[in-house]
A and B are shown apart, each in its own frame.
Chain A
Amino acid sequence: MVLKYIGRSFKRGCIQLVRRPMYFLLIVIMPLLCCWFLMDLIKPGSVQRVPVGIVDLDNSIMSRQVSRTLGGFQQVNITRRYNNFAEARDAVQRGEVYGFFLIPDNLEEHALGGRQPVVSYYVNYAYYAPASMQYKGFKTMSLLANGAIVQTALRTVGVPNEKIAAALQPYQTHVHMPGNPFINYNYYLNSTFVPCFLSLFILLVTAFSLGMELKSGLSSQWLKTSGNSMFLALIGKLVPQTVLFTAVGWFIQWMMYRCYDFPLNCNPWNMLIAMFLLVVANQSFAVLMYCFVPNFRYGTMLCTLLGMVSFSFAGFSLPQEAMYPWVEALGFVVPIKYYFLIMVDQALNGIDLYYSRFYYAALIGFTILPMLLSWRLKKECLNPVYVP
C-alpha cells in the first residue's frame, strides 16, 4: 500500500519536474553555469600585477633604480609615471591605477647623507584585494631599497657577507599554509561559494515547488495521491529533485577536485557524502521554513533571504570569530555552514573524520527537523490559501 502511494506521489513529482522547463534550467543549467562563471573568473588564482603609478620627484640614479626594481615585481605593474602628487591622485580618483609609490625629491642626497628620507606608498583600500597585494609589493620594495644601501655600506667597512645577511634580517619567518600553499584565491573562494550557490538554488527550487502546490490549490490533491501522508507526499515531490541536485553537486565536486585540482586531502567519499547531505539538508531546511510560514510569498522570501545572506554570515570572507556574536550564531542556522566546516576539515586540512563528526550530525539533524513540524504544512495543504 505504502509503495503504491510512494509510486503515485513520485510519478506526480516527476511529471511536474518535466513539464516546467524552468526546473531544468534552475536545477541543472544555472548551477553549472554559475560554477563555471566563478571558476573561470578567478582562474588566475591570485591577484597579480596590480596597475599602479609611480611619482619620482628625485629622478636620481637611486630613484630610477628603485622604480626599475619595483617594475620587476610580480605584485605590481607600473602602468603610468606621474610628474607630481596631484596627477597621481587624480589618476586614482579616475580609477586608472589602484595606488602609487611616491619617491620624494632629494632621496639620494638625503639617503647618502644619513638624513632618512621617507618614501610613501598610497594604496587605495576601496579595492580590497588589489590593495593587499600592492601593500606587499611596496613594502618589500622599500625594505629592499634600504637593505641594498646598508649592505653596500657594511661591505665597504669590511663586514663579512654572511654576517650582513643576518644583520639585515635577523629574524627569518617561515609561513606555512597547509592545504593552500599557493594562496590560491580560486581554491579558497570557490570551494565555498560554488556549494553556497548550489544550496541557494536548492532552497529556491524546493520553496517554489512547494509553494506552487499551495498557489494552484492542488495541494489537497497532492496529499491524496500519497494517501494523506505529508511525509510520503514530500518524499514523492522532493526525491526526484534530490537525485538531480546530488548529481549536479557531484559533478561540480568532480570539476573542482579533478579538473581544477582543488585541495582534496581526504577520502573522496567524505566530500561526496557531505554533498549529498548538503542537498538533503537544504531541501529539509526549505520545508522547515514552510512549516514555520505556510505561505507561498513569505516562505519563499524567507528561503531567499537566508540563502542569499548565508554567503556572508557563514563566515567565508569575514571569519566567524570576528563577527558580532549574533551574526556568528545566525551562521549556524543554515546547512551550508556545516558543509563549509566539513570542507575545511576534510578536503583542505585532511584531518581525522572524528573532528568533523558534529558537522555531519548537524546536516543529518536538518533532515529530521521538518518531520516534527510537518503537521503545520499538512494543515495548510488541506486548506490552501493563496495570498498574492
Chain B
Amino acid sequence: MTEKIRHSRFFLWFIQVLRVCGRELLLVFRDSGVVIFFLLLNAAYPVLYALIYNPEVVRDEPVVVVDDNRTAMSRDLIRRMDATQEVAIKGYAANMEEARDAMFRKDCYGIIYVPRDFAQCIERGEQGHVSLYCDMSVMMRYKALFTALTNVTQAMGGDRLAATVEPVLNMSGSIIESRQVPIGNSAMGIASAVLLFILPLVLQQSMILGIAMLHGGSIERRRRNCGRDPMAIEAGVGATILGKMMCHQIIYVIPVIYVLHYVPLMFGFPQNGNILQVMCLAVPFIIAVSLMGQTLQAFVNERESVFLLFVFSSVVFVFLTGASWPRYLMSPLWWVVGDCVPATWMSNAYVLMQSDGATLAQVSHHYLMMWIQVPVMFVLAYMVERFVNRRRYRSWIAASESNPSALTRIDLAKNGVG
C-alpha cells in the first residue's frame, strides 16, 4: 500500500511542492534584503506610522483675537474659546492687519474677529456676529477651530435662549436634547481610524516587495548563468507557485500576529475583534497576496527595481481601501480596481472587526470576496509563470547557446556601455 502511495503521481507532485517550499525558505533567509522586507519592515513600519499619528487629535491650535467690542460678553466668549480642547488663544491683535501678519508668519492658524457692536446687538435682542478666519492648508485645523467656535457659541446661545424663553414659556428652551455617541473609534482620533486600514496594507506591500525581490534575484542569476537558475528547483508550474505560497504562509505567521494583534495592543487602538476570527480572516488574505505577488513579479528584472515598481503603489492602495476618501463616492472604475486588491477587503473587514466589534459572520462578504480572489489570482500567477516567465527563460537559454555572452551584453548596453 505504502509503495503504491509513494509512486502515485500526487505524492510525487506533493514532494515537489515541499521541495520548492524548502528551497524558497532557504533563499529567503539567505537574502538579507528579503528578510528586511518580510520581517523588519513589518516590525518597524507600523510602529513608525503609529508614532507619527499617535497624538490622535488637534489640541490647542494657536489663535489670535481681534476684539473691537471689548465688553464683558466678548471677553467671556474669548475665555470660553481658550478653555476648549481645540483652541489656545495666543493673544490679542490691535487690528486685522496685525492679526493677518501673525497668521502669515505662522504664529497662529486662525483669527477670531469680534465686531464693534457685538454685545450691543445681543443686548438689544438682535443677533450678534462673530467671525472666524481659518487657515485652510490642513483640514484638521479647520475642523478643530470650527468645532470649537460652534460649540462655544451654541453653549452661550443656549444660556441666552433660556433667559429669553423662561419668562414666557416656563421652560428652558431646550426641548429636544441631542447627543452624539461616537462608535467604533470612540476617541475620534485620526490614528485609531487610519492606522487600522494601514496595518493589513503593510503586510500586503511587504510581502509583494519581498516576493518580487526574490524573483529579481533569480532573474539576475539566470542572466549570469546562461538563462538557468542554479538555485531553482525543477518543478511544474503549479507546484512552483504552491510551494512558494506555502513558504510565504509559514514566514508570515509571526508578522500577521504581530501586526494585526500586537500593534493595536501597543498603541491602544480599538481591539474589539476576536483574535481568532481576525486570524481566520487573514488566511485567505495572505494566500491571495502571495499569489498576487507571484503575478506581479513578472515586471521585475533586477532586485532593486522592486523599489521603483511597487513602493509607490502603497499610497494608491491606501486610497483604494477608502481610508481617507470613502469608497461609496468612488467612480465605478476605481471601485472595481479597489475590489481586485486583497487589502481593500481585508482592511475594511479588519476595521469593522477591530473598531466596531463585528464578528466573522458579519464580514462574511469581505471574507468570501478574498476567497474568490484566491483562485483568480492563482490562475493569473499560473499564466504569468507559464506563458511569460518560463517562455522567457527558454528564449534566454536558446540565445545563450548560440552566444554565451548575449545576456550580459544586453545588461551592459542598458547601463550605457557600447
Cβ-based interface call for B4 (8 A): no
* Minimal beta-carbon separation of A25 from chain B (angstroms): 8
Instruction: Flag if A200 contacts B312 (CB, 8 Å).
Output: yes
Q: Which of B105, B183, B188 contacts A355 (CB 8 A)?
A: B105
The prevalent SS among residues of A at the interface is helix
A167, A208, A312: the one within 8 Å of B304 (CB): A208
> Which of A210-218, A273-281, A363-371 sits within the interface?
A210-218
- Judged by a CB distance under 8 angstroms, whether A257 is at the interface is no
List chain A residues, Cβ under 8 A from B177: 116-119
Which of A68-76, A122-130, A245-253, A376-384 interfaces with chain B? A122-130
Question: A229 at the A/B interface (Cβ < 8 Å)?
Answer: no
- Chain B residues with CB below 8 A from A312, complex form: 49, 52-53
Assess whether A175 is in contact with B329, with CB atoms less than 8 Å apart. no
A319 at the interface (CB under 8 A from B): yes
Which residues on B sit within 8 Å (CB–CB) of A319?
A: 58, 61, 109, 138, 140-141
B319 x A125 contact (CB < 8 A): no
Q: Flag whether B334 is at the interface (Cβ < 8 A).
A: yes
B8 contacts partner chain A, Cβ-Cβ < 8 Å: no
| A26 nearest CB neighbor, chain B only | B308
- Which residues of B lie under 8 Å from residue A200 when comparing CB positions? 311-312, 315
- The residues in B between 337 and 363 inclusive whose CB is less than 8 angstroms from any CB of A are 348, 351-352, 355-359, 362-363
A297 at the interface (CB under 8 A from B): yes
Asked whether B53 lies within 8 Å of A318 as measured between CB atoms, the reply is yes
From the candidates B141, B142, B156, B417, name the one contacting A221 in the complex (CB within 8 A).
Answer: B417
What is the bound-complex CA distance between A159 and B311, given in angstroms? Answer: 66
A188 at the interface (CB under 8 A from B): yes
Q: What mask results when residues 23 to 62 of chain B are scored 1 for a CB within 8 Å of chain A, else 0? A: 0000000010100100000000000110111110111011
Number of A-B contacts (CB under 8 A): 351
In the bound complex, CA of A130 to CA of B194 (Å): 13
Residues of A within 8 Å of B181, CB to CB, are 120-123
With A127-B322, A166-B127, A312-B52 already in contact, the answer to whether A300 and B329 are too (CB < 8 A) is no
Question: Any chain A CB within 8 A of the CB of B131?
Answer: yes
Is there an interface contact between B352 and A170, defined as CB atoms closer than 8 Å? no
Q: By the criterion of a CB under 8 Å from any partner CB, how many residues of chain B are at the interface?
A: 120
Docked complex: A126-171 residues within 8 A CB-CB of B? 126-132, 135, 138-139, 142-143, 145-146, 149-150, 153-154, 157, 159, 162-163, 165-171
B363 CB contacts on chain A under 8 angstroms: 94-95
State the B residues within 8 Å of A (CB): 31, 33, 36, 48-49, 51-55, 57-59, 61-62, 77, 104-105, 109, 122, 125-143, 146, 149-150, 153-154, 156-157, 160-161, 164-165, 168-169, 171, 173-188, 190, 192-194, 196, 217, 270, 301-305, 307-309, 311-312, 314-316, 319, 322-326, 328-331, 333-334, 348, 351-352, 355-359, 362-363, 365-366, 411-417
Q: What 10 new A-B contacts, CB under 8 Å, besides A40-B333, A177-B136?
A: A93-B358, A117-B177, A120-B179, A121-B178, A124-B183, A131-B188, A146-B174, A173-B150, A311-B315, A344-B135
23 A-B residue pairs with Cβ-Cβ distance under 8 Å, sorted by A, are: A41-B319, A95-B348, A129-B324, A150-B169, A157-B169, A167-B173, A170-B161, A172-B128, A172-B129, A173-B131, A173-B132, A175-B132, A175-B149, A183-B136, A183-B139, A215-B302, A218-B417, A309-B48, A317-B194, A319-B141, A322-B55, A322-B61, A351-B104
